[in-house]
């Protein structure tokens, strides 16, 4: 009985870990911008020339917006 309870708890724990590991934050961006973005001109907004980070590059508009934990681009520049 004890083994069965432990096994069930183990399965539940694995499912929970897998769930939180894949749950996306509001700011995740797993898009390869260089291959997918259809823009005519490169936007300086989405560069990381200053090395400050802190930004997410919005693919559709090519602007850099503040996004805690994201360093795709230099936010504020």
Total residues at interface with other proteins (CB under 8 A): 40
Q: How far apart are CA 25 and CA 27, in angstroms?
A: 5
The minimum distance between CB 42 and other proteins, in angstroms, equals 15
For residue 59, what are its two tokens?
């693919």
**Pairing between β-strand 63-66 and β-strand 73-74 as defined by DSSP bridges:** unpaired
> Residues 43, 47, 48, 59: which binds other proteins (CB under 8 A)?
59
Which positions from 14 to 53 touch other proteins by CB under 8 A, shown as an x/- string? xxx-xx--xxx-xxxx-xxx-xxxx-------------x-
């Amino acid at each position: 009985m004890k083994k069965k309870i432990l096994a069930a708890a183990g399965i539940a724990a694995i499912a929970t870990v897998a769930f939180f590991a894949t749950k996306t934050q509001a700011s995740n961006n797993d898009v390869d911008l260089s291959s997918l973005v259809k823009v005519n001109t490169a936007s300086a907004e989405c560069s990381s020339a200053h090395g400050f980070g802190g930004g997410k590059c919005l693919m559709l508009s090519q602007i850099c917006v503040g996004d805690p934990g994201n360093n795709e681009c230099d936010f504020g520049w």
